[in-house]
Chains A and B, each alone.
Chain A
Amino acid sequence: MIVFQKPKSLTDAELHYCPGCTHGIIHRLVAEAIDTFDVEGKTIGVAPVGCSVLAYNYFRCDMVEAAHGRAPAVATGLKRALPENVIFTYQGDGDLASIGMAETVHAATRNENITVIFVNNAIYGMTGGQMAPTSLPGQVTQTSPYGRDVKTAGYPIRMCEMLSALDGPEYIVRVAVNNVKNVRNAKKAIEKAFRNQIENKGFSLVEVVSSCPTNWGMTPQNALKWIDENMLPYYPLGVYKDRSGQEAAK
């Protein structure tokens, strides 16, 4: 009996992520969802600019590399051209919540029938650890060396809270991957985000609170602990919007 195997929709390419980075887990969860619904052959993924820029090498489905922040716009084009296909984007916090904020908000408000995986690790990883739109108050980064000063750098953006204020989107949820229980919930949320699209329900965004041991300057274990102690109080986990679910409950 096979108790553990690589999802079919991941390639054999070796991941380039740093030791302890949670991108690997999230890639696996996305691939598992694709496998669960048996849609690899009609899935097109959109990779961002950031740490997961090379995601197009890791997913076995067709892939498109987007310009920084533009993945939701690119996905919109793909979905409008191929409405029967499954389109997902995979984006980090700089990509989705800073430079791509407009594309994110408008894809959400149009209820574009796509799945967005939003990896929030509160830092720009690929470029070496600069302050992100989601960096916490006081968080030390290369470009906030004295800690994020909210007086000059403003406050972190809580994407789920913001997007759930819109009438448009179908499903907005925040999960984490720092312990087994959270990974299980993340798996369920990502599956639902794909199922929603397959059932033509519309825009689903899964924010995955993630770690960056390299740029946080921590061991992988401490980074996961730091999520519990610092990230989750600012970014509470939970379902922020589930339109069909809420309508069904009425």
Chain B
Amino acid sequence: MSEKVLMKGNEAIAEAAIRAGCRHYFGYPITPQTELAAYMAKRMPKIGGTFLQAESEIAAINMVYGVAGTGKRVMTSSSSPGVSLKQEGISYIAGADLPALIVNVQRGGPGLGGIQPSQSDYFQATKGGGHGDYHLIVLTPAGVQEMADLTALAFDLADKYRMPAMLLADGTTGQMMEPVVLPEEQIHTVEKPWAVTGTGMKRPHNIINSLYLKPEELEEMNFARFRRYAEIEENEVRYESFLMEDADVCVVAFGIAARVSKNAVVAARAEGIKAGLIRPITVWPFPKKALACAADKVKGFVSVELSMGQMIEDVVLATGNRRPVMLCNRAGGMIPTPDGVLDSIRKMNGGAEL
């Protein structure tokens, strides 16, 4: 099982999901996540699973809600405009405390935007996205291997904490081909006594629901959910630290932006600038402590993003405004270049205003 295969990122997600025990997929066509649905359409009927092309993203996410209520592993995938349509359903899934996986292979926006890669759904993904107080566990793959690994992890975390998880990818990682070692087939044993499977006349009925008409009750549900979130912030933060031991400049980037930034950090080192990289793998929970620690040592931060600057707000919050934070970005489907990032590193190294 450990042999390497060459796969597109979108396909790696699909195969990893199947190996994680997901047998139910619901989607609606949209670029640039097409290969994922196509892969599921081919594979699911062969393994007794469900592939269903829904009438809309709204229907697809509500089908996900239905399966999630039964306790079975389920997912949907889409790209930015489609993920906006799913927000209603995601809010219900979060409100009913159901595990599910939502994949967003982001493209440029707003509106219909374009079909080239972007990270401009960061706010939507990390701050809730739909109505009400809630979070998703948000994982950000920076390559095809992580598309597979983080898919498996996302299912596990969603089950463990009874909440939706999102794989926040982008058009580049979705479309790129790389060698990947696919995860082993999983057998999971998480008990789901809350699931609707039919009472079998053996227990009182289970109700999958997010309606609480008494405000005291609804408040307590919110409090309880956020106690769980606090636990996740404590235990599930994941990030990669690259050349940070002696760094003067800390680049912060995730996904494809981190791939580009790594090259820039290496180039900066070659010209004598002590640059390092913190790459959040979870953007919710955000690696606040790692950044706070870095702020004790570095001159400043460069937030590299494929957006108009969204994660930068979390960087500023995490570092308590103690060090300057500079934005290095492209938007609308454009990708920052290593030279562009290097230039920002040089500027930050030369001293920037707080």
Which A residues have a C-beta under 8 Å from some C-beta of B? 11, 40-44, 46, 53, 56-57, 59-67, 70, 73-82, 85, 102-103, 105-106
Kindly identify which residue among B56, B62, B206 contacts A77, using a CB–CB cutoff of 8 Å: B62
Does the CB pair A61–B199 fall under 8 Å?
Answer: yes
Kindly identify which residue among A53, A56, A60, A76 contacts B66, using a CB–CB cutoff of 8 Å: A76
Q: Which chain A residue has the least Cβ–Cβ distance from B68?
A: A77
B201 CB-CB contact with A under 8 Å: yes
What separation, in Å, do the CA atoms of A74 and B60 have in the docked complex? 9
B interface residues, tally (CB under 8 Å): 39
Does the CB pair B198–A77 fall under 8 Å?
Answer: no
Kindly identify which residue among B63, B72, B196, B210 contacts A44, using a CB–CB cutoff of 8 Å: B196
Q: Which residues of B contact A79 (CB under 8 A)?
A: 66
Kindly identify which residue among B59, B64, B74 contacts A103, using a CB–CB cutoff of 8 Å: B59
What separation, in Å, do the CA atoms of A102 and B64 have in the docked complex? 17
Of the stretches B10-18, B47-55, B184-192, the one at the interface is B47-55
- How far apart are A115's CB and chain B's nearest CB, in angstroms? 15
B241 CB-CB contact with A under 8 Å: no
Within 8 A of A (CB), among B184-238: 196-202, 205-211
B337 CB-CB contact with A under 8 Å: no
Kindly identify which residue among A46, A67, A105 contacts B92, using a CB–CB cutoff of 8 Å: A67
Kindly identify which residue among A62, A81, A82, A102 contacts B55, using a CB–CB cutoff of 8 Å: A102
B70 CB-CB contact with A under 8 Å: yes
What separation, in Å, do the CA atoms of A74 and B207 have in the docked complex? 14
Q: Which residues of B contact A63 (CB under 8 A)?
A: 196, 205-209
Does the CB pair A73–B59 fall under 8 Å?
Answer: yes
Other CB < 8 Å A-B pairs besides A77-B69, A78-B66, 18 of them? Answer: A42-B198, A44-B198, A53-B211, A56-B209, A62-B196, A65-B96, A65-B209, A65-B210, A67-B92, A73-B60, A73-B63, A74-B62, A78-B70, A80-B50, A81-B67, A82-B197, A82-B198, A103-B59
B89 CB-CB contact with A under 8 Å: yes
Within 8 A of A (CB), among B106-122: none
The 6 lowest CB-CB distance pairs between A and B, nearest first, are A77-B66, A73-B62, A62-B196, A42-B198, A77-B63, A106-B55
